[in-house]
Amino acid sequence: MEIIILPTAAEASEVAARLIARQVREKPSSVLGLATGSTPCKLYQLLARMHREDGLDFSKATTFNLDEYVNLDPTHPASYHQFMEENFFSHVNLRRESVHIPDGMVADVPAHCAEYERAIRKAGGIDLQILGLGSDGHLGFNEPGSSLASRTRIKTLTERTRSDNARFFTGAQEVPHHVITMGLGTIMESRMCLLLAFGKAKAEAVAASVEGPVTASVPGSLLQFHPQAKVLLDAESASSLRRAEYYQGVYQNKPSWQTDL
Protein backbone atom coordinates (compact mmCIF):
# COMPACT_ATOMS: atom_id res chain seq x y z
CA MET A 1 0.00 0.00 0.00
CA GLU A 2 1.44 3.34 -1.08
CA ILE A 3 0.20 6.39 0.82
CA ILE A 4 0.39 9.63 -1.20
CA ILE A 5 -0.35 12.78 0.81
CA LEU A 6 -0.71 16.11 -0.97
CA PRO A 7 -1.79 19.48 0.41
CA THR A 8 -5.15 19.63 -1.37
CA ALA A 9 -7.78 17.37 -2.88
CA ALA A 10 -7.21 19.04 -6.26
CA GLU A 11 -3.51 18.11 -6.22
CA ALA A 12 -4.28 14.53 -5.18
CA SER A 13 -6.88 14.29 -7.94
CA GLU A 14 -4.28 15.43 -10.47
CA VAL A 15 -1.97 12.59 -9.44
CA ALA A 16 -4.84 10.14 -9.75
CA ALA A 17 -5.71 11.47 -13.20
CA ARG A 18 -2.12 11.05 -14.38
CA LEU A 19 -2.04 7.47 -13.11
CA ILE A 20 -5.24 6.64 -14.97
CA ALA A 21 -4.06 8.42 -18.12
CA ARG A 22 -0.85 6.41 -18.05
CA GLN A 23 -2.84 3.20 -17.67
CA VAL A 24 -5.05 4.03 -20.66
CA ARG A 25 -2.15 5.14 -22.84
CA GLU A 26 -0.07 2.06 -22.07
CA LYS A 27 -3.06 -0.26 -22.50
CA PRO A 28 -5.80 1.35 -24.63
CA SER A 29 -8.10 -1.62 -23.98
CA SER A 30 -7.89 -1.12 -20.21
CA VAL A 31 -10.77 -2.22 -18.01
CA LEU A 32 -11.50 0.57 -15.53
CA GLY A 33 -13.53 0.26 -12.35
CA LEU A 34 -15.36 3.51 -11.65
CA ALA A 35 -16.68 5.10 -8.47
CA THR A 36 -19.28 7.76 -7.78
CA GLY A 37 -19.92 10.37 -5.09
CA SER A 38 -18.36 13.77 -4.55
CA THR A 39 -14.79 12.47 -4.13
CA PRO A 40 -14.02 11.54 -7.78
CA CYS A 41 -15.77 14.54 -9.38
CA LYS A 42 -12.55 16.54 -9.82
CA LEU A 43 -10.80 13.42 -11.13
CA TYR A 44 -13.42 12.96 -13.85
CA GLN A 45 -13.15 16.64 -14.79
CA LEU A 46 -9.40 16.25 -15.22
CA LEU A 47 -9.75 13.09 -17.32
CA ALA A 48 -12.32 14.84 -19.51
CA ARG A 49 -9.92 17.74 -19.99
CA MET A 50 -7.11 15.31 -20.89
CA HIS A 51 -9.40 13.75 -23.49
CA ARG A 52 -10.41 17.14 -24.88
CA GLU A 53 -7.02 18.87 -24.85
CA ASP A 54 -4.45 16.05 -24.95
CA GLY A 55 -6.27 13.40 -26.97
CA LEU A 56 -6.57 10.85 -24.16
CA ASP A 57 -8.47 8.10 -25.95
CA PHE A 58 -11.06 5.97 -24.14
CA SER A 59 -12.54 4.43 -27.28
CA LYS A 60 -11.09 0.98 -26.63
CA ALA A 61 -11.57 0.99 -22.84
CA THR A 62 -14.24 -0.86 -20.89
CA THR A 63 -15.73 0.34 -17.61
CA PHE A 64 -17.54 -1.25 -14.67
CA ASN A 65 -19.12 0.86 -11.97
CA LEU A 66 -18.97 -0.19 -8.36
CA ASP A 67 -22.61 0.16 -7.44
CA GLU A 68 -26.14 1.46 -7.95
CA TYR A 69 -29.24 1.95 -5.82
CA VAL A 70 -31.98 -0.69 -5.94
CA ASN A 71 -35.37 0.45 -7.28
CA LEU A 72 -34.06 3.84 -8.33
CA ASP A 73 -34.79 4.58 -11.97
CA PRO A 74 -31.65 5.23 -14.03
CA THR A 75 -33.11 8.62 -15.01
CA HIS A 76 -33.43 9.73 -11.38
CA PRO A 77 -31.09 12.69 -10.73
CA ALA A 78 -29.44 10.82 -7.82
CA SER A 79 -28.90 7.55 -9.70
CA TYR A 80 -25.35 6.59 -10.47
CA HIS A 81 -26.29 6.16 -14.12
CA GLN A 82 -27.06 9.88 -14.18
CA PHE A 83 -24.00 10.77 -12.13
CA MET A 84 -21.67 9.00 -14.55
CA GLU A 85 -23.40 10.47 -17.60
CA GLU A 86 -23.17 14.02 -16.27
CA ASN A 87 -19.69 13.83 -14.78
CA PHE A 88 -17.79 11.59 -17.17
CA PHE A 89 -19.45 9.59 -19.94
CA SER A 90 -20.82 12.57 -21.88
CA HIS A 91 -17.37 14.20 -21.90
CA VAL A 92 -15.19 11.37 -23.28
CA ASN A 93 -15.31 8.90 -26.16
CA LEU A 94 -16.16 5.69 -24.33
CA ARG A 95 -18.26 3.33 -26.41
CA ARG A 96 -21.64 2.93 -24.72
CA GLU A 97 -21.60 -0.82 -25.27
CA SER A 98 -18.41 -0.96 -23.18
CA VAL A 99 -19.97 0.82 -20.20
CA HIS A 100 -21.38 -1.33 -17.37
CA ILE A 101 -23.35 -0.12 -14.35
CA PRO A 102 -25.41 -2.39 -12.07
CA ASP A 103 -29.11 -2.24 -12.89
CA GLY A 104 -31.06 -1.54 -9.74
CA MET A 105 -34.38 -2.04 -11.52
CA VAL A 106 -33.94 -5.73 -12.41
CA ALA A 107 -36.51 -8.26 -11.22
CA ASP A 108 -33.92 -10.95 -10.42
CA VAL A 109 -31.15 -9.24 -8.46
CA PRO A 110 -29.06 -12.36 -7.66
CA ALA A 111 -29.01 -13.40 -11.33
CA HIS A 112 -28.04 -9.90 -12.39
CA CYS A 113 -25.21 -9.83 -9.84
CA ALA A 114 -23.88 -13.18 -11.07
CA GLU A 115 -23.99 -11.88 -14.66
CA TYR A 116 -22.10 -8.74 -13.62
CA GLU A 117 -19.33 -10.92 -12.20
CA ARG A 118 -19.25 -12.96 -15.42
CA ALA A 119 -19.01 -9.79 -17.50
CA ILE A 120 -16.01 -8.60 -15.48
CA ARG A 121 -14.27 -11.95 -15.97
CA LYS A 122 -15.13 -11.98 -19.69
CA ALA A 123 -13.56 -8.54 -20.06
CA GLY A 124 -10.33 -9.88 -18.58
CA GLY A 125 -10.70 -8.47 -15.08
CA ILE A 126 -10.36 -4.89 -13.88
CA ASP A 127 -6.99 -3.28 -14.54
CA LEU A 128 -7.49 -0.21 -12.36
CA GLN A 129 -10.24 0.29 -9.80
CA ILE A 130 -11.10 3.80 -8.56
CA LEU A 131 -12.39 3.79 -4.98
CA GLY A 132 -13.75 6.22 -2.45
CA LEU A 133 -13.93 5.63 1.29
CA GLY A 134 -17.03 6.03 3.42
CA SER A 135 -16.82 7.90 6.70
CA ASP A 136 -17.27 4.52 8.40
CA GLY A 137 -14.59 2.88 6.25
CA HIS A 138 -16.86 1.25 3.67
CA LEU A 139 -15.65 0.51 0.13
CA GLY A 140 -18.21 0.63 -2.64
CA PHE A 141 -21.31 -0.07 -0.59
CA ASN A 142 -19.65 -2.83 1.39
CA GLU A 143 -20.74 -1.67 4.82
CA PRO A 144 -18.89 -2.56 8.03
CA GLY A 145 -19.31 -6.26 8.69
CA SER A 146 -19.28 -7.22 5.01
CA SER A 147 -17.60 -10.48 4.09
CA LEU A 148 -14.02 -9.88 3.03
CA ALA A 149 -14.52 -12.43 0.25
CA SER A 150 -17.86 -11.05 -0.96
CA ARG A 151 -18.86 -10.75 -4.62
CA THR A 152 -21.34 -8.45 -6.40
CA ARG A 153 -24.60 -8.61 -4.47
CA ILE A 154 -27.42 -6.68 -2.80
CA LYS A 155 -26.57 -4.83 0.42
CA THR A 156 -28.61 -2.94 3.00
CA LEU A 157 -27.26 0.52 3.77
CA THR A 158 -26.58 1.64 7.31
CA GLU A 159 -28.39 4.71 8.58
CA ARG A 160 -25.05 6.50 8.69
CA THR A 161 -24.48 5.91 4.98
CA ARG A 162 -28.05 6.93 4.16
CA SER A 163 -27.54 10.11 6.17
CA ASP A 164 -24.21 10.83 4.43
CA ASN A 165 -25.85 10.41 1.02
CA ALA A 166 -28.99 12.41 1.81
CA ARG A 167 -27.37 15.52 0.29
CA PHE A 168 -27.82 13.96 -3.15
CA PHE A 169 -31.58 13.61 -2.59
CA THR A 170 -34.28 16.04 -1.52
CA GLY A 171 -34.30 14.42 1.91
CA ALA A 172 -32.97 11.50 3.92
CA GLN A 173 -36.28 9.66 3.60
CA GLU A 174 -35.75 9.38 -0.17
CA VAL A 175 -32.41 7.55 0.07
CA PRO A 176 -32.98 3.89 -0.86
CA HIS A 177 -32.29 1.24 1.77
CA HIS A 178 -30.73 -1.21 -0.68
CA VAL A 179 -27.98 -1.17 -3.30
CA ILE A 180 -26.19 -3.49 -5.68
CA THR A 181 -22.44 -3.33 -5.10
CA MET A 182 -19.29 -5.07 -6.20
CA GLY A 183 -18.03 -7.20 -3.33
CA LEU A 184 -14.75 -6.82 -1.49
CA GLY A 185 -13.47 -10.00 -3.12
CA THR A 186 -14.30 -8.53 -6.53
CA ILE A 187 -12.52 -5.28 -5.72
CA MET A 188 -9.43 -7.09 -4.45
CA GLU A 189 -9.04 -8.91 -7.78
CA SER A 190 -8.40 -5.60 -9.56
CA ARG A 191 -4.78 -5.30 -10.67
CA MET A 192 -4.47 -1.82 -9.16
CA CYS A 193 -6.67 -0.05 -6.63
CA LEU A 194 -6.67 3.73 -6.47
CA LEU A 195 -8.34 4.96 -3.28
CA LEU A 196 -9.16 8.67 -2.93
CA ALA A 197 -10.25 10.19 0.39
CA PHE A 198 -10.47 13.90 1.12
CA GLY A 199 -11.50 16.10 4.02
CA LYS A 200 -11.37 15.98 7.80
CA ALA A 201 -14.53 13.87 7.97
CA LYS A 202 -12.61 10.98 6.39
CA ALA A 203 -9.54 11.21 8.67
CA GLU A 204 -10.67 8.57 11.17
CA ALA A 205 -11.66 6.10 8.45
CA VAL A 206 -8.38 6.69 6.61
CA ALA A 207 -6.31 6.02 9.74
CA ALA A 208 -8.28 2.87 10.53
CA SER A 209 -7.95 1.62 6.95
CA VAL A 210 -4.25 2.36 6.55
CA GLU A 211 -2.80 1.82 10.01
CA GLY A 212 -5.40 -0.20 11.89
CA PRO A 213 -5.96 -3.95 11.94
CA VAL A 214 -7.47 -5.65 8.91
CA THR A 215 -11.07 -6.22 9.91
CA ALA A 216 -14.51 -6.54 8.38
CA SER A 217 -15.53 -3.70 10.71
CA VAL A 218 -13.42 -1.39 8.51
CA PRO A 219 -13.76 -2.71 4.94
CA GLY A 220 -11.16 -0.25 3.64
CA SER A 221 -8.51 -1.98 5.76
CA LEU A 222 -8.63 -4.96 3.39
CA LEU A 223 -6.58 -2.91 0.92
CA GLN A 224 -3.58 -3.53 3.18
CA PHE A 225 -3.52 -6.97 1.56
CA HIS A 226 -3.66 -5.64 -2.02
CA PRO A 227 -0.35 -5.94 -3.92
CA GLN A 228 -0.78 -2.61 -5.72
CA ALA A 229 -3.00 -0.20 -3.81
CA LYS A 230 -2.37 3.54 -3.90
CA VAL A 231 -4.10 5.79 -1.36
CA LEU A 232 -4.35 9.44 -2.40
CA LEU A 233 -5.09 11.88 0.42
CA ASP A 234 -5.22 15.58 1.14
CA ALA A 235 -3.73 17.05 4.31
CA GLU A 236 -7.04 16.94 6.18
CA SER A 237 -7.88 13.30 5.46
CA ALA A 238 -4.30 12.35 6.43
CA SER A 239 -4.39 14.31 9.70
CA SER A 240 -4.97 11.26 11.93
CA LEU A 241 -2.20 9.12 10.46
CA ARG A 242 0.58 8.39 12.95
CA ARG A 243 3.20 7.90 10.24
CA ALA A 244 2.19 10.68 7.84
CA GLU A 245 5.67 12.20 7.84
CA TYR A 246 7.20 8.88 6.82
CA TYR A 247 4.70 8.38 3.99
CA GLN A 248 5.47 11.85 2.67
CA GLY A 249 9.19 11.14 2.81
CA VAL A 250 8.79 7.90 0.90
CA TYR A 251 6.81 9.58 -1.87
CA GLN A 252 9.13 12.57 -2.16
CA ASN A 253 12.34 10.54 -2.20
CA LYS A 254 11.65 7.70 -4.56
CA PRO A 255 14.58 6.58 -6.70
CA SER A 256 14.20 7.66 -10.31
CA TRP A 257 13.54 4.13 -11.55
CA GLN A 258 10.66 3.78 -9.09
CA THR A 259 8.96 7.06 -9.85
CA ASP A 260 5.70 6.33 -11.66
CA LEU A 261 4.71 9.85 -12.63
pLDDT band at 244 (very low <50, low <70, confident <90, very high): very high
For the entire predicted model, the pTM comes to 0.95
For residue range 67-79, what is the model confidence (pLDDT) as tens digits?
A: 999 999 999 999 9
Task: With cut-offs at 50, 70 and 90, classify the pLDDT of residue 123.
Answer: very high
pLDDT in tens, 141-174: 999 999 999 999 999 999 999 999 999 998 888 9
Which backbone phi and psi does 194 adopt, to 5 degrees?
-120, 100
Domains, in order of start, for the chain: 2-252 (3.40.50.1360)
Mean pLDDT (the chain) is 96
* Helix or strand holding residue 221 (H, E): none
Over residues 22-42, the mean pLDDT reads: 97
- Residues with a known catalytic role: 67, 136, 138, 143
Q: Which of 235, 205, 40 is nearest to 130 (CA)?
A: 40
Report pLDDT digits (tens) over 34-54: 999 999 999 999 999 999 999
- The rounded percent of the chain whose pLDDT value lies above 90 is 95
Residue 255: pLDDT above 80? yes
Q: Are 203 and 238 within 8 A, CB to CB?
A: yes
The 3-state DSSP class for residue 32 equals strand
Residue 259 confidence class, pLDDT cut points 50, 70, 90:
low
Average pLDDT over residues 222-227: 98
Q: Is the pLDDT of residue 105 over 70?
A: yes
Considering only CA atoms, which of 119, 134, 55 is closest in space to residue 92? 55
pLDDT at 261: 62
pLDDT tens, residue by residue, 196-207: 999 999 999 999
Long-range contacts of 52-57 (CB under 8 A, 24+ apart): 52/91, 54/21, 56/21, 56/24, 56/25, 56/92, 57/24, 57/28, 57/93
Beta-strand relationship, 99-100 and 178-181: unpaired
